[in-house]
A and B are shown apart, each in its own frame.
Chain A
Amino acid sequence: MADTVVYVYAVTDAATAGPPQDPAIPGVDGAPVRRIASGGLAAVVSSVDAARFSEEALRRSLDDLPWLEETARAHHAVVAAVAPAGPVAPVRLATVYVDDENVRALLQERAAAFRAALDRIRGRTEWGVKAWAVPSDDAGESQQITDGAKPGTSYLMRRRAERDRTAKGLQDAVDAAEAVHRKISAVAVASRRHPPQDPRLSGKREEMVLNAAYLVDEAGATALMQLVEDRGIQGVRLELTGPWAPYSFTTVEGP
């Protein structure tokens, strides 16, 4: 085993079953997935090629989008396969240990923090809610403004009116998104705002005005879905994703 290192996907209770073995879920780089238990905790891991997962190789690979996508999806598939069996604290992408002994030491040294994280997410799921500004479409107004003005002035007035309307539409969308965020936060155990997504990655042209994650229990999930489906919300288009393993609520920094 000298040529492998240990890739860590997640930490769970030792009592939580590992990923299904029949059929087995392939891990990153196609590696088999197994568990390392210590105390009351278990790490979900794969042995991966030491050269392909060396620090230098990883720094290079992280610039390779197809590699990043494949690895992120494999990591996520393992986390998603374990999540139904019990609370799971996903570990950040590309966390690699030298050997099993170091992973056991980690579980022992950080036991209190892992337990706190697992207790916080027990019986709860994460949902994502994103909001985009819906461009307003009232072209008639600018025509009225410019009736009777000189052509040059009329052009400038129309441009200014368009700019004002765009700015107002965006501000209205921001306000609507904040209102949605407040309402959902009220039914959630915790919330977290992610930065707006880059349009080059999301493929959406509209302005993203909310990119949030919410940690909810079962009743909270129902309430959250009702809030997202509320047809009375104007000025924004909402999108719901989930349920997710609680990626956004297990950020244990340190040591």
Chain B
Amino acid sequence: MGPVLLHHRGGAVTAPTAREVALVDLLDRLLAGGVVITGDITISLAEVDLVHVSLRALISSVQTLVEP
């Protein structure tokens, strides 16, 4: 599932496109990074228990995501 992987023992470097980005790397950034806004707003992930949410999603659906 990985995008471009640059191994230090010598692989080619290819630029990743948006579609090739690994979901796990994206979730690191989208669930824990980015501007967090709270206040006059209907919902923000800042107000959600992230660990709980991501773990539940992960555990229930992991087979659909990870190809061994």
Contact = CB atoms under 8 A, between A and B. Distances in A.
Interface of B: 1-10, 13, 16, 18-19, 21-46, 48, 53, 56-62, 64-68
Given A5-B42, A89-B35, A90-B30, 14 more contacts: A54-B42, A63-B53, A63-B57, A73-B23, A90-B34, A91-B36, A95-B43, A197-B28, A202-B66, A203-B66, A229-B10, A248-B28, A248-B29, A255-B38
Contact of B44 (A94, A114, A241): A94
What's the dominant secondary structure at chain A's contact region? Answer: mixed
29 contacts: A11-B35, A62-B53, A66-B64, A72-B30, A90-B29, A90-B34, A91-B35, A92-B31, A94-B43, A95-B37, A96-B41, A98-B41, A105-B40, A201-B58, A203-B67, A225-B13, A228-B6, A233-B8, A239-B2, A240-B5, A240-B13, A241-B4, A241-B25, A247-B34, A250-B35, A251-B33, A251-B36, A252-B35, A252-B37
Interface string A46-64: 0000000111001100111
Contact of A244 (B6, B29, B38, B61): B29
A54 B41 CA distance: 11
